[in-house]
Amino acid sequence: MQQQLFDAAYSAFIQDTNLPRSIYEIEGADKCAIEVNSFSKSAGFTGVRLGWTVVPKTLVVDRAEPGKVNSLWNRRQTTFFNGASNIPQEGGLVVLTEQGQRECQAIIDYYLENARIIRTGLLDLGITSFGGENAPYIWMKTPYGMKSWDFFDKLLEETHVVGTPGVGFGPSGEGHFRLSAFGHRENIEAAVDSIRKNLRL
């Protein structure tokens, strides 16, 4: 069985109830997976650094009995880490209240609407695009099979919009480009408008 490390930082953006928000919704994951999550994306805690790691006691790794990894993780954390300071902890407690959850959902909804605006703008131009429905990022295929860094230059020069070349995420990202929905609505609308009017396809 192959062990997995699952990053669930964007799980709050998943709106489709048929999709899992946690790897532990998948049968058997508690025997092979560690899940890492935080308030960075769901509550705007980026830079504040308040998160958690789930290491199941049922996790099995090569030459170690169940519970060993959990025990080693606990020892490592309590030996090398004093824990989050009081300020982010207090903020985290507020996030977990009913009002905090409502406000976080409102922020998520805001960014998902930004994503819809971006995705719609790209699709209207005939650009193949993915994402933006259960995540705050929209991935697009670069036109004419352009290299992602070449498209970065083209987008910047023609539209004054900045995104992330897909190759920055590894060789499989070549030929793709990522746009982010994290921003003020007026900036998102201005960027999409500029792409519609100025990107030469």
Residue 2 has pLDDT above 80, yes or no: no
Q: What percent of the chain has pLDDT over 70?
A: 100
Query: E-assigned strands of 77-187?
Result: 129-131, 137-141, 164-165, 176-180
160 and 123 both lie in a single domain: yes
End-to-end CA distance of the chain: 47
**Residue 129 structural domain:** 102-198
Closest CA to 52 of 36, 40, 67, 41: 36
79 and 131 both lie in a single domain: no
85 and 106 both lie in a single domain: no
- Given pLDDT bands bounded at 50, 70 and 90, which one contains residue 52? very high
What is the pLDDT, as a whole number, of residue 1?
64
User: 70 near 59, Cβ under 8 Å?
Assistant: yes
Whether this prediction's pTM lies above 0.85 is answered by: yes
Q: Where is the domain boundary, 96, 126, 154? A: 96
What digits encode the pLDDT tens for the residues 125-183?
Answer: 999 999 999 999 999 999 999 999 999 999 999 999 999 999 999 999 999 999 999 99
- Given pLDDT bands bounded at 50, 70 and 90, which one contains residue 61? confident
Q: What percent of the chain has pLDDT over 90?
A: 87
Give the mean model confidence (pLDDT) for residues 87-91. 94
Residue 54 has pLDDT above 70, yes or no: yes
Q: Rounded to an integer, what distance in angstroms lies between the CA atom of residue 105 and that of residue 110?
A: 8
- Given pLDDT bands bounded at 50, 70 and 90, which one contains residue 35? very high
User: 192 near 119, Cβ under 8 Å?
Assistant: no
Q: Where is the domain boundary, 72, 96, 120? A: 96
92 and 125 both lie in a single domain: no
